[in-house]
Amino acid sequence: MTQYIIRRLYQAIPILIGISFVSFLIIMLAPGNPLNSLYPDYLLKKMDQTKIREQLGLDKPVAEQYLDMMGKLLTGKLDSFVERRPVIDMIAEKLPATGILALTTMVLSLLVAIPLAIFSTIFRGSKIDGAIDIFTLVGISLPSFFIALILLLVFSEKFHWLPSSGIRPLGANGYNLLEMLPYLVMPVIVLSLGEMPALMRYARSGMLEVMREDYIRTARAKGVSERLVIFRHALPNALIPVVCEVGLLIPWLLGGTAITESIFGISGLGRLAVTSAIARDYPVILTINLYVSALVLLSSILTDIAYSILDPRIRLG
């Protein structure tokens, strides 16, 4: 197991280097000029643009800019064009909000999706199964921004039950979950409705496949109760494809919550990515891309380890 993890980590290094190079090229080839985001047009015309580009390191050849940015990124000295401070500090400030939002979403999604998959399997072909199918279809079909706007209209504008923006009360310094709870309700519902259908379908498909296995029929023939058959024998094996889906969703949640964070005014990593892209803040965009890529690779390793734990027949080496 240890050798497998070390080997996978070594394999991730050239992959990350390749991703960083491709991301940098895409950023540099994208239309737009960072200087136009930093200064108004009337002021920029009066300034020495050559000197400003030299200060930002944009006067160097592309290859030298890439090596310079990567060297500063690895040492934590890469500064944002807009805020003129280390990018790592900016990400560290935004990460707790996105992390709490992602973790809460994942927990809620699993707590709802797995029981729904079990009920759908037990009552296959019934009205309950049909209602669950309709729920998953609605979750897949409706875009997240539409659900978010409906929730804002109902719970914030009409009934004033929930705050419409932010993730904690104004003036709060820490991240108290009790204080944050009213702010998390709507964003978590929006993100969960996008995740639960996929998790539920994977779990249901796994359950239906496992329930046809010989060892399930053997357990029933021995007089094992249906509850033990489902929860002890069927569910652990049915969760293997769900683990794969969770491994893919975690990086997406931490790096792809841009729409939800923008609608609900949450100062998180997704919103930082959007504002940085608009401002052509190359260092921030590059760092966030590499951060999400590293999460994808790490989640892949953790998913393989979880596989071996759920199914001892799987050996990693």
The predicted-structure confidence for 275-287, as pLDDT tens digits, reads as follows 888 888 889 999 9
Q: Which one-letter DSSP state was computed for residue 255?
A: H
The pLDDT score that the predictor gives to residue 154 is 93
147 Cβ partners below 8 Å, 6+ apart?
Answer: 189, 190, 193
Q: Give CA 53 to chain center in angstroms.
A: 34
CA terminus-to-terminus distance, the chain:
6
Structural domains in the chain, CATH included, are 2-75 (no CATH), 92-310 (1.10.3720.10)
**CA separation for the pair 283, 78 (Å, rounded):** 7
Phi first, then psi, for residue 166 (nearest 5°) are 85, 175
- Taking Cα atoms as reference points, which of 6, 12, 11 lies closest to residue 316? 6
Q: What average pLDDT does the structure give for the chain?
A: 84
The pLDDT score that the predictor gives to residue 274 is 86
The pLDDT score that the predictor gives to residue 87 is 92
**Is 86 strand, coil or helix?**
strand
**CA separation for the pair 236, 60 (Å, rounded):** 56
Tell whether the torsion through CA atoms of 249, 253, 254 and 257 is positive or negative.
positive
> CA distances (Å), 271 to each of 6, 92, 264, 266, 295, in order?
34, 14, 10, 7, 18
Length of the chain: 317
Helices H / strands E in the chain, number of each: 16, 0
**Is 45 strand, coil or helix?**
coil
- Taking Cα atoms as reference points, which of 206, 289, 192, 181 lies closest to residue 249? 192
Condensed to tens digits (0 to 9), the pLDDT of residues 164-175 reads 888 888 877 778
> CA distances (Å), 178 to each of 93, 101, 111, 183, in order?
20, 14, 20, 10
Is 314's pLDDT higher than 70?
A: no
Query: Residue type for 226, please?
Result: E
Range 78-96 average pLDDT: 89
* Cβ neighbour number for residue 223 with a 10 Å cutoff: 6
Q: Which residues is 79 bridged to in the sheet?
A: 86
Residue pair 270/127 in contact by the 8 Å Cβ criterion: no
Condensed to tens digits (0 to 9), the pLDDT of residues 249-299 reads 777 777 668 888 888 988 888 888 888 888 888 899 999 888 888 888 888
**CA separation for the pair 100, 167 (Å, rounded):** 10
Is 36's pLDDT higher than 80?
A: no
Query: What secondary structure, in 3-state letters, does 121-166 show?
Result: HHCCCCHHHHHHHHHHHHHHHCCHHHHHHHHHHHHHHHCCCCCCCC
Q: Which residues is 86 bridged to in the sheet?
A: 79
